[in-house]
Chains A and B, each alone.
Chain A
């Protein structure tokens, strides 16, 4: 067997790949579900927190800042492990899926809140004043005048952060979540061949390259419009 054949047999073993393809696909579906849940809930929670923060109720804002700084500081892996292995002693036993989802959503929420908040505060004061002077209330001004401008400013940092955190779904393997990496590594153990890992990497690329490209498209589109 030549070196080249050996290389192919190790990383691109057709027999192994065919055997474990269904597993990898199953992991991919789970990763997609998990990623969508994280993105939707994380961004929504971050936006809600930023909106609450704009009301300017001091004790509430201190609480928001505390929570946000906490989840921005903790490594996502630590949060996942804490929730999965820690909560059972408090009588709650979240599944691997729920633990990973909850952890990454909280981390995304924290970063998203800061980004949304920066966007809201960067809208000039004159915009608030013009709107309020025509009789729009605080909430109406926020929703109709300030937020649309703020969101446009947040798109670039938000997509970057969202992609970075969503890739963290791979951390779910630590709590035996059957997402792409989990499926790939158990296939490796069973087949004594690393080809499934190559399939896993390919699955991540198929999943995230369109997201990255889409983000770039959104960024340029909104950058020109201003």
Chain B
């Protein structure tokens, strides 16, 4: 069943206690004696804002540390291969033998054993009056 009368008719919220007025005025008295605080000063002096700022900074620092620990470490040389110069041969990657072979082509590596052996078999010097294949001899051919 529904009643269309006003359920709040004849009633109202309670009145504030009589002593509240004196209490409020006593509380605002010292504040009134001080200079009014500007907006920026209030923001600067706000404890919640300071706590929020500190929490944000701490969170950023923690996130930085956590991401640094989780990210995979980059070890070894870059993936891009390059032909090392003579003075860089000492730094030739040893843990990637396939890569090392690829970047030390016998055509440009005068110290390569297979290369010199090839010239020795042909009976020419490295400048070569006779042309030879740049492909290094395979182990089978060598043997």
Genuine A/B complex? no
